[in-house]
Structure 1
Amino acid sequence: MEDAPHVVILGGGFGGISTALEIRARLSTSQARVTVVDKKDWFMVGFAKLWIIRGTRTFEESTAPLENLSKRDIGFVKADILDLNTVQRQVDTSKGRLSYDYLVVAMGAHLAPDQIPGLAEYGLNLYDHNHLRAIRQKLIDIKSGSVAIVISSMPYKCPPAPFEAAMLIDSLLSEIGSRESISLDVYSPGPMTLPAAGPKISERILDMIQQKDIYFHGSHKLLSVNKSEIIFEDTTKKFDILLAIPPHVVPAVVSDLTNSEPFIKIDRFGRTHIHNIYAVGDITTLSGGKGPVPKAGVFAEGEGAVVARDIISKILNDDAPQPYDGKGGCFIESGQNTASIIQVDAFVPSTTLSDSTQSNLEEKIQFEKDHLEGWLG
């Protein structure tokens, strides 16, 4: 087993776990060793964060332990990743050094609120699990005023999430009885709700939120924040609660893989410009038909499976697999026990948006169950 090629996977999110499970499903421990490294010891489907804010779920109910990967003969190391030496093929972690034959970088984009002056001090991070309880409490406590959801830069992961968050917050405030006294606004640097999906889908999402008196403000470039104001390039807005999607950046420890680009460029097999180093998910740029493949867990999962098959083909000296197909779907919940599904085919390209139905919400719930229990149960 010690002589078997060692696949080291940095990150235990959708892309990392997908890669690990696909390799282990096809190769025995005598054919490949697989190790996942992550600074956290749990996995969560990202959209559950909004359920925690809404109050229908707790954090503990929404996670599964990464140590359960050991049941599949996959090693797990809970550690900070300190350094990457691509010449010596080594990764230094807070728990020691790992040598690799194949490296998969699946760490996810780092959220960087400090890039916007005042954002970390006066805003709450909608994507940070550490902020969820504080967000919920502030929403419960506010009796009147303004709740602002601000997309600070693009691209960002889970593109429909800010609009889904707005609708779930509308539902929460309506349930509490304070909604009529609170304005709810979404600000974006983009000209429409979902630029990558095109004007027709964007218009439908705009209609969904406007029916709930949620207002969208496009082409608003965020510059800074103070105690009560959001300063955009062309205007200033007051707020009482600021929920932000901070800028996304590549973690510094793997920034050398970017070639000075914002994210790590990959091909449709997840290959980077360095031999036997792959990358998947939010830290990558993979060009699609009209733009990059969206940053969302379902796309990282698909990329991870293809990366695994490419590594397997090299280990077995076999033919290369089919390239990543760029297909995936994201849910957008209405706050009324229904959800729509946005289906993307990035390389055609095409995007569709379904009607909002209860069955789609049930599919969303099942999606989470399949990943928590199916992957880590």
Structure 2
Amino acid sequence: MQRILILGGGGGGTLTANLLVKKLRSRIDRGEVEIVVVDATGQHVYQPGFMYIAMGGERASNLSRPERSLLDKRVNLVIGQVDRIDEATQTVALSNGLTLVYDQLVIASGSRIVPEAIEHFDTEAEHFYTAEAAEKLRLALDTFDGGRIVIGIAGMPYKCPPAPLEVAFLIEAELRERGLRDRSSVDFCSPIGRAFTIETVSEMATPIFEEKGIEVHTFFNVEAIDPERKVVLSLEGEELPYDLLILVPPHKGQQFLMDSGLAPTPGGWLPTDRHSLLVGERPNVYALGDATDLPLSKAGSTAHFEAPVVAERVAAAVEGREPAGKHVDYEGKVMCFFEIGDGKGTLLQFDYDHPPRPPKPNRVWHLGKIVFNKTYWHTVPKGRV
């Protein structure tokens, strides 16, 4: 029997597993192939919803479901924390003592936040990259009565690149709604020379920042937080005082990838072929989603469009054929909605060869994002869109 082992039960891993069932159903039913998903908690969490918890429009209880309920019944689910991958024996060791052998390995392990990389982050800065942190930020906003809000990025790359810009726009709109705008300032800090990594998106966002009176500080790479003086300091020597500090925490790949030698860089990202999604020169190890080192958004839609390619290539390897069809190669496709505030949004859609050309913000794109969030559970993980 051939075993396909998928590490990670997030959007990418779950979708890949379900797509593989569609391609290999008869072989699975005959006992020739086994698909196993390994997940640390057994709970599938819809992380894009965290921002809406912080903005007061969502509850954490709506953003989590049992992973088992999203997987085809033919997929086996193992709950456990991955400890190490041994390429020589083609095994994965879990922290509970279980060892799993694989023939094909798919790594969809996501990323992790490391706020501890910046001293005083946990006590001084708010963020929205976990449900708990988003709830804490919501409380901070509820009790905010005016002052200086600083929103920044404490490390790159990070999950959902538009998110800090969206939060800045949404908070500014909330301040106006609550009558606090005239006694509040909002500053946005970017570690690069423009507000957003992609130039066409930055060109769209810059006049919105100006219209909303949000000052943008470029080349602001967060170095330290001074809790006594209530200032955040950059590597470039700039200081910004704050009353409420909101920072995207530094991100890294999973520790077990570094320990296993698959991710040799300090960031812990897997060296991944931009088209085949193979890891390095390995013929049977694939990566998708946040775990890769690809120069793309670490976003759910990235994994969504990568999963069909991984599924086709793994299925082809199992069946002893060449990959075929429209999902042979990944072309860098990414698509995401972008909140502007005041009930408006836009759409970012791009690939390796075509930069995004965001349409003029309107209510349709905002509603599109809301509808997508509500229908996620019934569509994306099960491969219906």
* TM-score w.r.t. length of structure 1: 0.91
Size of the aligned set, in residue pairs, is: 366
- 1:259 equivalent in structure 2: 264
Structure 1: how far apart are the matches of 2:174 and 2:32? 51
- 1:84 equivalent in structure 2: 85
- 1:363 equivalent in structure 2: 368
Work out whether residues 337 and 368 of structure 2, in 8 Å CA contact, stay in contact via their aligned partners in 1. Answer: no
Structure 2: how far apart are the matches of 1:127 and 1:70? 25
Residue of 102, 109, 116 corresponding to 2:118: 116
Residue of 261, 271, 275 corresponding to 2:278: 271
Structure 2: how far apart are the matches of 1:364 and 1:32? 37
Residue of 17, 22, 26 corresponding to 1:25: 22
Aligned sequence identity (%): 27
Residue of 371, 376, 379 corresponding to 1:374: 379
Residue of 178, 181, 189 corresponding to 1:176: 178
1:71, CA displacement in angstroms?
4.1
1:147, CA displacement in angstroms?
1.6
Structure 1: how far apart are the matches of 2:333 and 2:84? 33
Work out whether residues 21 and 74 of structure 2, in 8 Å CA contact, stay in contact via their aligned partners in 1. Answer: yes
Work out whether residues 115 and 247 of structure 1, in 8 Å CA contact, stay in contact via their aligned partners in 2. Answer: yes
Unaligned runs of 5+ in 2: none
Deviations 1:79-118 (A, max 9, x none): 2222221212222224422221111111112211122222
Q: Which amino acid aligns with 1:135?
A: L
Deviations 1:8-45 (A, max 9, x none): 11112222122112101211223432222222333333
- 1:6 equivalent in structure 2: 3
Structure 1: how far apart are the matches of 2:50 and 2:247? 14
Q: Which amino acid aligns with 2:55?
A: R
1:320, CA displacement in angstroms?
1.9
- 1:349 equivalent in structure 2: 354
Give the direction of change, closer, same or farther, for the CA distance of 1:311–1:176 in structure 2 (3 Å limit).
same
Deviations 1:211-264 (A, max 9, x none): 222221110111111211101121111112221112221111011112336421
Q: Which amino acid aligns with 2:16?
A: T
- 1:212 equivalent in structure 2: 212
Q: Secondary structure at the match of 1:225?
A: strand
Q: Secondary structure at the match of 1:353?
A: coil
Structure 1: how far apart are the matches of 2:360 and 2:64? 29
Q: Secondary structure at the match of 2:341?
A: coil
- 1:221 equivalent in structure 2: 221
Give the direction of change, closer, same or farther, for the CA distance of 1:294–1:194 in structure 2 (3 Å limit).
same
Residue of 79, 100, 103 corresponding to 2:102: 100
Question: Quick check: 1:302 aligned with 2:305?
Answer: yes
Question: Quick check: 1:68 aligned with 2:69?
Answer: yes
Q: Secondary structure at the match of 1:334?
A: strand
Comparing 45-54 with 128-137, greater Cα deviation is found at 45-54
Structure 2: how far apart are the matches of 1:269 and 1:15? 15
1:333, CA displacement in angstroms?
0.8
Residue of 218, 227, 240 corresponding to 1:237: 240
Structure 1: how far apart are the matches of 2:75 and 2:147? 50
1:138, CA displacement in angstroms?
0.4
Give the direction of change, closer, same or farther, for the CA distance of 1:209–1:71 in structure 2 (3 Å limit).
same
Structure 1: how far apart are the matches of 2:287 and 2:170? 33
Q: Which amino acid aligns with 1:302?
A: F
Deviations 1:159-201 (A, max 9, x none): 1111111112223333333232221111111111122x21x43
1:375, CA displacement in angstroms?
4.8
Unaligned runs of 5+ in 1: 287-291
- 2:319 equivalent in structure 1: 316
Structure 1: how far apart are the matches of 2:343 and 2:272? 38
- 2:201 equivalent in structure 1: 201
Work out whether residues 126 and 137 of structure 2, in 8 Å CA contact, stay in contact via their aligned partners in 1. Answer: yes
Structure 1: how far apart are the matches of 2:380 and 2:360? 29
Work out whether residues 6 and 32 of structure 1, in 8 Å CA contact, stay in contact via their aligned partners in 2. Answer: yes
Work out whether residues 329 and 341 of structure 1, in 8 Å CA contact, stay in contact via their aligned partners in 2. Answer: yes
- 1:289 equivalent in structure 2: none
Comparing 229-238 with 111-120, greater Cα deviation is found at 111-120
Q: Secondary structure at the match of 2:172?
A: helix
Work out whether residues 329 and 342 of structure 1, in 8 Å CA contact, stay in contact via their aligned partners in 2. Answer: yes
Comparing 68-77 with 316-325, greater Cα deviation is found at 68-77
- 1:45 equivalent in structure 2: 46
- 1:340 equivalent in structure 2: 346
Structure 1: how far apart are the matches of 2:209 and 2:79? 40
Q: Secondary structure at the match of 1:15?
A: helix
Q: Which amino acid aligns with 1:252?
A: Q
- 2:288 equivalent in structure 1: 280
Map residues 144-159 of structure 1 onto 2, 5 A cutoff: 144-159=146-161
Structure 1: how far apart are the matches of 2:12 and 2:279? 15
Q: Secondary structure at the match of 1:264?
A: coil
1:51, CA displacement in angstroms?
1.2
1:318, CA displacement in angstroms?
1.6
